[in-house]
A and B are shown apart, each in its own frame.
Chain A
């Protein structure tokens, strides 16, 4: 059976240096599990050099979306699920409990581009405490 959750959105624009280091889009919270259900990114300047820009939990254990560098062209909105460049195998799957949502470069630092806009749609599930 489906969940009936209110949808939440996190949006921002980050310098590529910040993305290289990892930007926390949504901080982790006690007894909460996030599920990324959709996302898009838009590069200002065509990105180069890096392998991908990933949206994952803050330990990079569950990668909800892998945006490969070939799709990060200037001012193009690249959506999760786009063939080849928006690999979204784990879209809709819960991230690690109590971890936040992160966007981070994989591979070498991002070249050429200056900033990347990002939008993450997610739901929040309370985690039942155990005693």
Chain B
């Protein structure tokens, strides 16, 4: 396929051969909570904040599928937005291919954007209902690749074929409401990939699709990843699906990582009580299967005043007195597998 070259050269990476495409260093994002004038006076200017992301570090290697999993409110989607530079972090660094996003000029950031793309959960909400499918995909093409209408159309046709919508002429002039949900998500994938990005942040990309459509979309995403040398940050609440595509996975709880490592190792030798509970809770499509361990008490607490020490301690079945005081750091307890629990060893014998 004769793909026109990118119009602008992206900022050249400082360390081109480094293994890590993305490095996230001690990232924090606090959202101030709106409170009244008097409350603010009483708090003496201390505005309460939702600590959505509160000190998260990890790196994503070139060409891998990195899973980020957790329940609603864990902060996983906020991390995704921070990685894309769609949100400004309260603290910490986000380095993409050697470029620190915090220190880039707007013009440099704009050029970098073509190399990182996003796929959201709801394709209908991600597509402009009054823009035809062809126009929707042409939009990033015009910004990043070519202004020539004929060339542009050809680029769109190529990517439509790649995502399995052939013949592309049939789809180009259709509107989002005229196609099925699965096809819509293919359009969103096509639009994200048309600029041949390096990184794709996929935030629950298949959560809304039906079971039979899910396996097709997953297959498409994996095929395109290999074809186009992509790196995925795959954000999900679904640990069963993650198993089929992720190389490594990080588990998030209340703004912190509790466990990170190669997927098989995390699933088979999980050392954090929260990871263990999450894995145990996943419904298994086998009526003979019965859950063995009891579920943790209560529900995920507020991120405004997270529990002291280990954030999971009020619900943890193995918590000791010091868990309420000392916040556990991630410790490498198996090769490449880190766990933030003071008592993880008991699960790893």
A and B, one complex?
A: no
Query: Which residues of B line the A interface, CB within 8 A?
Result: none
